[in-house]
Amino acid sequence: MELYKNLLKEYNSGIIGYATIGIIGQSCIGSVAAMFILMNGDLPRGLQMTELFLVTILCMGFNGAVLAQQKGKIQFNILVLSVCISILAIIINLI
């Protein structure tokens, strides 16, 4: 929990720069996750599209939160959730 508080404090101190880096970084990770989801033919089609929807909506959610100038904590929480879900999707589809 201490790590989260420190990262949130750092994010809020340089929110303009970190939001920009966050958009670029999570968009790249989300794109890789979407590519692996679509490349994986082992999952049923409905599950594959649900997984793709989840990754896409979280990436768009962070971008929208930054554009709507939400509070730093909201932006940071969506960023962490988006990156974690995208990385989880990459791992699931690599196995």
Residue 40 has pLDDT above 90, yes or no: no
Rounded to 5°, angle at Cα 12 from 9 and 15? 145
CA distances from 67 to 38, 51, 90 (A): 28, 25, 26
Q: What is the pLDDT of residue 21?
A: 94
The whole-angstrom separation of Cα 10 and Cα 68 is: 20
The whole-angstrom separation of Cα 24 and Cα 30 is: 10
Domain range for 35 is 2-94
Rounded to 5°, angle at Cα 16 from 68 and 76? 65
Cβ–Cβ under 8 Å, residues 83 and 26: yes
pTM (2 d.p.): 0.86
Span 38-56, average pLDDT: 86
Number of domains in the chain: 1
Span 52-76, average pLDDT: 93
